Chains A and B, each alone.
Chain A
């Protein structure tokens, strides 16, 4: 099957819709017109840039370039996780915690998928490695930031309860146990919901894209299942890791609740 190539004119027709939306926003005084326009422009610029980068990258299969781009993606995702938290850890911890957890789980699982599941040759073939890692990071980012945000805000709100439990001789794990469990749950919910609704309520984006570009539906479905599993596992592991390390860091070596470590 051939892909119908989209012309600039085709995309402009889609852009008209965004303009209409922005116009309506001005009319209704939603105060969103600027944001919509800027976000739309960002989408165009960012995607065109990554398109160019990918084109170059696919042309020369190089581990160095794949690693560099992966690292860049990780660092940006880490920044995003930090920005999405209302109360975050101060200093390096604020940035490092989310980034480290995402690194451990996303990179390990992506490499696992490339080598064990898909079996690309070489394993870092950018056409597979970069989109996989991208989807992994994108979803992991959501999970980790939701969980950490929940962890720190709730620890802050419930500091008296946590301290009351410490006073009665509970260790830090028990004293903050309810909060850590809730945080992990919140972080994993979007992916679990997405798995449950996949195919019935929504056709997942990746599968839709593959089908649009001419892949046979059953092939696209199989890839989608693989991606769903990978993303859910990746999100789950990194959410647990980040929450656990974060919870530990809320206490010092004498198991005192150290909210002063939040900025």
Chain B
């Protein structure tokens, strides 16, 4: 079981935060521009930040950055693709998550440019989980999805969390979704990340 621990962790204007995330769903909300994505990107060590992030007592600053990013699976709000075919972005040929995301197996031979936003988003989730991250940092993973797919993603992530005991930080604007998923809720107001009582 993985534990993500942030010590005096701050990025740009966000105030320093101490936080321990165990095997649980944390939902993070806040107005757009409040710094939700910034916060997740900093934990994935993609941008300069202060303070330290620990995963199972191993310090981010002492671990090879590529390895850290594999452990800390960050899903950006908009997926990015760097070659033409979907399959070229995956390291294995069979992705066990495709079916649960309502994607056919032959999607590996699809052209990325012909996929819809929703398809790309689901493919990005499959691509991320394939790496077996120990922590999930999901930036509005269901924002561009239809209701069926939203449910599919939610249950897939829940299964994943149960199977690997992974901590999750899930950014969402959807109050109903937060109610469905969150073990703990956090909100960014005035550059401060605070826990909101249920």
Contact = CB atoms under 8 A, between A and B. Distances in A.
Interface of A: 158, 160-171, 178, 252, 254-257
10 contacts: A161-B81, A162-B82, A163-B46, A164-B81, A167-B73, A167-B128, A169-B66, A169-B70, A171-B66, A256-B46
A188 to B, nearest CB: 23
A169 B80 contact: no
A164 B79 contact: yes
B86 to A, nearest CB: 13
Interface in B77-94: 78-82
Given A254-B65, A255-B65, A166 B46 contact: yes
Main secondary structure of the interface of B (DSSP, over half): loop
A8 to B, nearest CB: 60
Contacts of A178: 82
Given A169-B69, A170-B66, A254-B65, A160 B80 contact: yes
A221 B134 CA distance: 65
A168 B46 contact: no
A169 B81 contact: no
A252 B61 CA distance: 13
Contacts of A170: 66
Given A169-B131, A254-B65, A256-B47, A164 B80 contact: yes
Contacts of B76: 160, 163-164, 167
B66 A166 contact: yes
Nearest to A161: B82
A169 B69 CA distance: 5
B185 interface: no
A256 B45 CA distance: 7
Contacts of B66: 166, 169-171, 255
Contacts of A169: 66-67, 69-70, 131
A167 B82 contact: no
Interface residues of B, number: 22
A171 B70 CA distance: 11
Given A254-B45, A256-B46, A257-B46, A165 B65 contact: no
Contacts of B48: 252, 256
B74 interface: yes
Interface in B38-82: 44-48, 61, 65-67, 69-70, 73-74, 76, 78-82
B78 A168 contact: no
Nearest to B137: A167
B78 A160 contact: yes
A165 B82 CA distance: 8
A158 B82 contact: yes
A182 to B, nearest CB: 12
Contacts of B46: 163, 166-167, 256-257
A249 B69 CA distance: 20
Contacts of A256: 45-48, 65
Contacts of A255: 65-66
A168 B128 contact: yes
B131 A168 contact: yes
B127 interface: yes
A166 to B, nearest CB: 6
Contacts of B73: 167
A5 to B, nearest CB: 60
Given A161-B81, A164-B80, A164-B82, 14 more contacts: A158-B82, A163-B46, A163-B80, A165-B82, A166-B66, A166-B69, A167-B73, A167-B74, A167-B76, A168-B131, A169-B67, A169-B131, A256-B47, A256-B65
Most B Cβ at <10 Å: residue of A160, A164, A168, A178: A168
Nearest to A258: B48
Contacts of B65: 166, 171, 254-256
A161 B127 CA distance: 14
A163 B48 CA distance: 14
A166 B66 CA distance: 7
A219 B73 CA distance: 65
Contacts of A162: 82
A148 B37 CA distance: 31
A215 B135 CA distance: 73
